[in-house]
Structures are given as C-alpha cells and as structure tokens.
C-alpha cells in the first residue's frame, strides 16, 4: 500500500498569514496514464470532507484561489496564501493512483 505522510500534523496560523502543508508518498504517484492522482481535501468541524485540489494543482469548482497545490512524484504541498477563519479544519492529502486509495493522517489548521 502507498503510505501518505503529512507534515506538520498541527498548524497554528495567524489570520491573514500563509500556511503550508506537506505530503509525501512512499512511492511515485504517477499513474500509467501519465496523470498523478493526488488530491487535497478539507474537513471543517462536523462536516464531511470537501475536495479542494485534484491532480496536484487543479482547484475544484468553487474553491477560492488562495488555495494552491504543487509538487510532483512523491512530494506535494498545499498552500493557503492568507488564512481566513473559515479555513479552520483538518486537511488531508489522498492518492487515487493505485488501489487501495490512501489518506494522509490529516493536518489540523487552527487560528493562533
């Protein structure tokens, strides 16, 4: 199974400041079709997860442009350019390149 490792696990951030989350996979996420199926999810308290970013860097419909994704191969990053109060929650990276799909442990973003 592909292991997804996120750092940090907790990220206290000042409103308006940037935040960054790293995700590393135990093997390359490049699929045989050439795509890299690495996504980022946001889970606000008491809510189901919500897709933010797919295929490393594509923002899903309705996602604010302060969220951006980057990376390649086994190393990926989610950045929030200026954290807002509504960004509080847990962020997960996930891979769908290979069954079983796997998730990172989650990174809790909270306001200082």
Partner 1 sequence: QVQLVQSGAEVKKPGASVKVSCKASGYTFTNYGITWVRQAPGQGLEWMGWISAYNGNTDYAQKLQGRVTMTTDTSTSTAYMELRSLRSDDTAVYYCARDGGTSGVDYWGQGTLVTVSS
How would you classify the pairing of strands 67-72 and 75-80? antiparallel
In the complex, least distance from residue 27 CB atom to partner 1, rounded to whole angstroms:
17
Q: Which two tokens stand for residue 3?
A: 């292991």
**Phi, psi values for residue 16, rounded to 5°:** 85, -10
For residues 14 and 58, which CB has a smaller minimum distance to partner 1 in the complex?
A: 58
Task: Give CA separation, 65 vs 46, 102, 111, in Å.
Answer: 24, 26, 20
**Which one, 2 or 73, has the nearer CB to partner 1?**
2
* Host H or E run for residue 44: none
CB of 56 to partner 1, least distance (A): 10
Contact in structure between 107 and 12 (CB atoms under 8 Å): no
Binding residues vs partner 1 (CB under 8 A): 35, 37, 39, 41, 43, 48-51, 54-55, 58, 60, 90, 92, 94, 96, 99-106
Q: Which is nearer to partner 1, 74 or 97 (CB)?
A: 97
Cβ 49 to partner 1 shortest distance, Å: 6
CB of 48 to partner 1, least distance (A): 4
Of 51 and 66, CB closest to partner 1: 51
Length of the chain in residues, anyone? 112
Q: In this structure, are strands 58-59 and 50-54 parallel, antiparallel, or unpaired? A: antiparallel
């Amino acid at each position: 199974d592909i292991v997804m490792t996120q750092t940090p696990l907790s990220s206290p951030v000042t409103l308006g400041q940037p935040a960054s989350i790293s995700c590393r996979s135990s093997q390359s996420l490049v699929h045989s079709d050439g795509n890299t199926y690495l996504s980022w999810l946001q889970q606000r308290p008491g809510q189901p997860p919500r897709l933010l970013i797919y295929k490393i860097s594509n923002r899903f419909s309705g996602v604010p442009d302060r969220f951006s994704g980057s990376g390649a191969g086994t190393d990926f990053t989610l950045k929030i350019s200026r954290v807002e109060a509504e960004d509080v929650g847990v962020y997960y990276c996930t891979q769908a390149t290979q069954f079983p799909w796997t998730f990172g442990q989650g990174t809790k973003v909270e306001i200082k």
